[in-house]
Amino acid sequence: MKSFSTLVVLLVIAVHGSCLFAAVHATLVADDRDDVLDSELERLINTNIATNGYGSMILAFTQCFGEDCFDDFAGYGNTALLSGSQICHTSQYGGYHRGLARNLVPGSTTNAAHAAADAQKGPGDTPVKAGTNENIGTLSSTHVLVWAGKPNWLDQADIDNIHDSFDGCDVTVLSGNGTGQNVDGAANRANLQTALKNIGSQMNSNEQFILFVTDHGDKDDIDDAGYDGSFTTSLNVPAYAHMQNDSYNQPVLSLFSDDPIAAGCFESIEVNGHALSLPPESFEMDYDDDGTPEEYKYMLDVDETWLSETANEIDVQIDEETCPSVVFTKVSLGSGAISRTPQEGVPVLSNVGLIAMALFVLVVGAVVVMRRRVSVS
């Protein structure tokens, strides 16, 4: 722990997608594909932060459809909610998120930081705020966690700004695969749960928690009616239009249960009559990080060409003789990770792309130098 009395935990997460329907969820994109729904994020924060008490909370969502996360925290007192994008709107690279990363600094207020970021917004940003105006870094300690699931150089710039602004504080950064400047670990659910648990153990009514979000995200339509055994339902694709313009997103179907389900229990799973590859990839959700999962997720990739914007038929068949007690709490259909929209004049490259470009420049430079030496000799 660093010596400065203000301990900052800033969660930097970026989410992108489109919104067409009312009952949809935004997600935090993870490096290992186990994305975190906004409702799951709220459960983690409630379990680890709110129950221990806090004096102030700042939740900054700089992703597309950031305001979609607001409703999950509507009942939280002394909480500022900031976003670069309204419900059903995308955000843009190089705009609001960069402005907020530069201006969310100790000694300022959330209203001032939001106004400064709004002044730097891109044409595709639609900034919005809710909740209360909170002072930044004025309580006995402030806890900050940074999250970026699939960062590019602009997301890294957000991380660096926040890290530098809270110099002397305890800043935790979860980004990509865990490599990069000012990064403490990979952006995955396990690290998120551990970080929030560590933060929660230090929270009380005189401390502040800050959540700042940058990088990719997606949108999910969810049916939470609950099903015993085999079932058929219909789900929309709220980010359908943006999926068509993104070359790298992978749509996914996710099934949730309170109990583990053996791989052999799944007889078949279809989307619009197309069979998905079994068995599904499984994940455990341990919200209080006590070693006992409270929820299990079973995820399958879906071919984007099989989907339509509305009324996608989901058919799940279970071997009910072998597995008579299978119960699903909910099922979701998501767009997969979609990047922010580009802004004219702002280059958008992933960290891998930047490295490749740098290597290319080095190679070209070396060739030029060699040719000059040969010509001189």
Last residue of a domain, one of 213, 230, 251: 213
Q: Which of 13, 24, 10 has its CA nearest to residue 64?
A: 13
Q: What is the pLDDT of residue 4?
A: 37
Q: Last residue of a domain, which of 334, 351, 368?
A: 334
| 190 in Cβ contact with 37 (< 8 Å) | no
308 and 170 inside one domain: no
Residue 377: the pLDDT is 54
Whole-angstrom distance, CA of residue 113 vs CA of residue 139: 18
Tokens for 360, please give them: 């290319």
Q: How confident is the model at residue 288 (pLDDT cuts 50, 70, 90)?
A: confident
| Distance in angstroms (rounded) separating the CA atoms of residues 41 and 66 | 13
> What are the tens digits of pLDDT across the range 152-173?
999 999 999 999 999 888 899 9
**Residue at 328: amino acid letter:** F
Q: d(Cα 31, Cα 176) in Å, to the nearest integer?
A: 5
Among residues 211, 205, 209, which one has the least CA distance to residue 54? 205
Kindly state whether residues 98 and 175 are assigned to the same domain.
Answer: yes
Q: What are the beta bridge partners of residue 341? A: 92
The answer to which of 101-110, 130-139, 209-218, 365-374 has the lowest mean pLDDT is: 365-374
Going by C-alpha positions, the residue among 150, 59, 177, 165 that lies closest to residue 337 is 150
Average pLDDT, the chain: 87
Where would I find the H helices in the chain?
38-48, 96-103, 110-119, 153-165, 189-200, 240-243, 351-376
Structural domain contains residue 13: no
340's tokens: 């922010």
Q: What is the pLDDT of residues 235-262, one digit of tens each?
A: 999 888 888 888 888 999 999 999 999 9
pLDDT of 128 reads: 97
- What is the distance between the alpha carbons of residues 43 and 256, in angstroms, rounded to a whole number? 15
Backbone angles phi, psi at 239, to 5 degrees: -105, 25
Say if 117 falls within a structural domain.
yes
**Same domain (yes/no): 48, 180:** yes
19 within a domain of the structure (yes/no) = no
DSSP symbols for 363-376: HHHHHHHHHHHHHH
pLDDT tens digits along 77-115:
999 999 998 887 778 999 999 999 999 999 999 999 999
95 shares a domain with 68? yes
> 320 and 184: one domain?
no
Last residue of a domain, one of 154, 189, 213: 213
Same domain, 231 and 268: yes
> Per residue in 117-127, pLDDT tens?
999 999 989 99
Residue 357 pLDDT more than 60? Answer: no
Bridge partner list, 60: 82, 212
The Cα-based distances of 250 to 27, 137, 186, 304, 372 in angstroms read: 14, 39, 20, 7, 47
- pLDDT, position 238: 85
In this structure, the answer to whether residues 273 and 155 fall within a common structural domain is no
Task: Report yes or no on 125 lying in a domain.
Answer: yes
CATH number of the domain enclosing 299: 2.60.120
Q: Is the pLDDT of residue 188 over 70?
A: yes
17 in any annotated domain: no
| Mean pLDDT to the nearest integer, 272-297 | 93
Distance CA 101, CA 352 (A): 22
Say if strands 207-213 and 141-148 run parallel, antiparallel, or are unpaired.
parallel
Cα-Cα-Cα-Cα torsion 4, 212, 200, 283, nearest 10 degrees, comes to -140
Inform me whether the pLDDT recorded for 319 exceeds 70.
yes
Please check whether residue 60 is in contact with residue 146, taking contact to mean a CB–CB distance below 8 angstroms. Answer: no
Place of tokens 């079994």: 278
Residue the block writes with tokens 């058929």? 232
Annotate 195-228 with three-state secondary structure: HHHHHHCCCCCCEEEEEEECCCECEEEEECCCEE
In this structure, which amino acid lies at residue 1?
M
pLDDT score, position 63:
83
| Domain membership flag for residue 129 | yes
Give the separation between CA 159 and CA 226, rounded to whole angstroms: 39
State yes or no: pLDDT of 361 exceeds 50: no
Same domain, 230 and 194: no
What's phi and psi for 185, nearest 5 deg? -175, 170
Q: Is residue 287's pLDDT more than 50?
A: yes
Q: Are residues 138 and 36 in the same domain?
A: yes
Q: Place 193 in a pLDDT band, splitting at 50, 70 and 90.
A: very high
193 and 48 share one domain = yes
Domain annotation covers residue 354: no
| Domain range for 205 | 24-213
Q: Is 63 contained in some domain?
A: yes
The tally of domains found in the chain comes to 2
Identity of the residue numbered 218: D
Strand partners of residue 209: 143
Same domain, 129 and 66: yes
Return the minimum-mean-pLDDT range out of 20-24, 42-46, 51-55, 219-223.
Answer: 20-24
Same domain, 168 and 304: no
Mean pLDDT lowest for which of 8-22, 194-208, 238-252? 8-22
Which residue has better confidence, 10 or 142?
A: 142
